[in-house]
Chain A
Amino acid sequence: MFEQDAIVVANDNFAGQYYRLVMKAARIAPHVQPGQFVHIRIPLLRDALLRRPFSIYQAKDDTLSVLYKTVGKGTHQLARIKPGQSLSVIGPLGHGFSIPTSREILPLLVAGGYGMAALYILAERAPRPGIVFVGGRKKEDILCESEFRALGWDVQPTTEDGSYGIQGLVTHPLREQLQQGAKNVRIYACGPTPMLKAVGDLAAEFSVEAELSMDEHMCCGVGVCLTCVIPVHAENGWEYQRTCTEGPVFDSKAIAWEVMS
């Protein structure tokens, strides 16, 4: 974990409301593990004080990038940042995905929207390519398809409106894949919580290991404020654990879904 001023190299709108922010962050970039995040202080936010967390998309040498969608005042201001400006960044943060230990294991990645970003480094470092199931509401929500294909991965897009790929939810092709064979596969997922819950249910049904990157409202990002907690099974039933520290990636079996509101 480091705090540094990162210099913005690029901040481009590449589809719809989606942006890619590339930064020189020599202290942070070399230490990034798959599924980790950075905590960025966005300038010009007037009276909003907190940093915003972003999954790390790519990290190479002294450079790292994140993908984001302009959804709130933080991301709208971030979109106005120009190359050459500096941003205070803390990272890499959190407990990320495990990297498959053997070529025997077929990795199945499941992404909802820009959840794709959190899975790229895992795809890059996995000992063998697998299948990426990526879902979105419409075509423009399907991101980074060519980047994953370039790594040799099979990308299976689904859209809810049928404007691209298979029409339906991302869990439909995932279920078909698991029905074909659920031995020696492992699931890694990032996306909205209902999707993660559905993926966790499928993993349980087919007795497959699944690692889920949980998205919780976050404040300090380093484990002190206890904002971003989720219920996790523990000795005495369950306890709250921090998405920023014990997570964002949790074993799907560990999550106490029955407690989550």
Chain B
Amino acid sequence: MNWSVRIGSMVMPNPVTVASGTFGYGVEYARLLDLNQLGAVVVKGIRLGPVRGNPTPRTVEVASGLINAIGLQGPGVDGFIEKYWPFLKTLKVPVIINIWGCTLDEYVEVARRFDALEGVGALELNVSCPNIKEGGAHFGTDVRLLEKVVSSCRKATRLPLITKLSPNVASIVPYAQAAEAAGSDALSIMNSFPAMAIDIESRRPRLANITGGLTGPCIKPIAIKLVWEAARAVKIPIIGMGGIQCAEDALEFLIAGASAVAVGTANFYEPQTSLRVLEGIREYMQRHGLEDLKSLVGSVKLPRV
């Protein structure tokens, strides 16, 4: 049975990974599950310097989902390398570093810094965090800027590049194509969806940041549609994500056109989800006599028009 996934020079031993920002730096979950059983570990977004993050409240639970506005709190490149890399580099599976910046130069510099770090599996470009005012998101909602950030990072590193796209666009197709043309080795689809919740008694927004990014099972059908649209428009592999709670959810993404999947918000409430998804995919492949997962990818049967 073959279910490995190749992204540029990186080989994921299986198709199940985790979504950036829902798995810390791996070490936090290492006592609850064997990280080496995952297809890859994806760490929380890192920019050049440390980031304090947004005021609280930072998350709010909503029907079948969660809205967050954490503000990419993090230790910066040096803090990450000092504090978290010693553990991460001991993993047998690839480590994907999610990076972001407020300027083009910062993206390039962060990419360079990780290019120089031995053992990184791939870089995931976060061009789509909805919670950072001064940067990040506008790179993901302007095709030219997106093309520029991807091509600039492409020149700065030999590492495989994965571009994480925003759902907050009229059509994802030009963005997917621009990232591919600029040298991205894969796409992550999708980031959180801009959202808001209000406390009806105080009439105040329930997040200090007013708005945030919606994740969890409630966004899954949106993500499935975006993966399906993008998969028909590009040749590079897609990591599908958005509300995956079980193997059935993951299989839906694969059939829509994703080559791999990432478990996100479910990590917060059921930390074993990613491994259960993996086991469920194995059972499905056996039950359907699938020798190679690739035969499932994008196999959605559309009605004849």
Chain A residues close to B by CB (< 8 Å) = 1-3, 41, 47-51, 88, 90, 216-217, 219-220, 222-230, 239-240, 245, 261
Contacts and interface: CB of A to CB of B under 8 A. Distances in A.
Contacts of B221: none
Interface of B: 21-24, 28-29, 31-32, 44, 52-53, 55-59, 61, 63-66, 68, 70, 73, 208, 216-217, 265-272
A49 B265 contact: yes
A229 B267 contact: no
B268 A224 contact: yes
Contact of A222 (B29, B53, B216): B29
B14 to A, nearest CB: 22
Contact of A3 (B53, B70, B272): B272
Given A51-B268, A222-B24, A227-B58, 5 more contacts: A50-B66, A217-B59, A226-B70, A227-B70, A240-B53
A216 B28 CA distance: 19
Given A49-B66, A49-B265, A224 B29 contact: yes
Given A49-B216, A224-B23, A229 B59 contact: no
A239 B74 CA distance: 11
B268 A50 contact: yes
A169 B216 CA distance: 42
A261 B53 contact: no
A245 B27 CA distance: 13
Nearest to A221: B268
Contacts of A50: 61, 66, 268-269
Nearest to B27: A223
B104 to A, nearest CB: 27
Contacts of A229: 53, 56, 58, 73
B53 A224 contact: no
A220 B267 contact: yes
A51, A90, A222: residue with the most chain B Cβ atoms closer than 10 Å:
A222
B277 to A, nearest CB: 16
B270 to A, nearest CB: 7
Contacts of B68: 225, 227
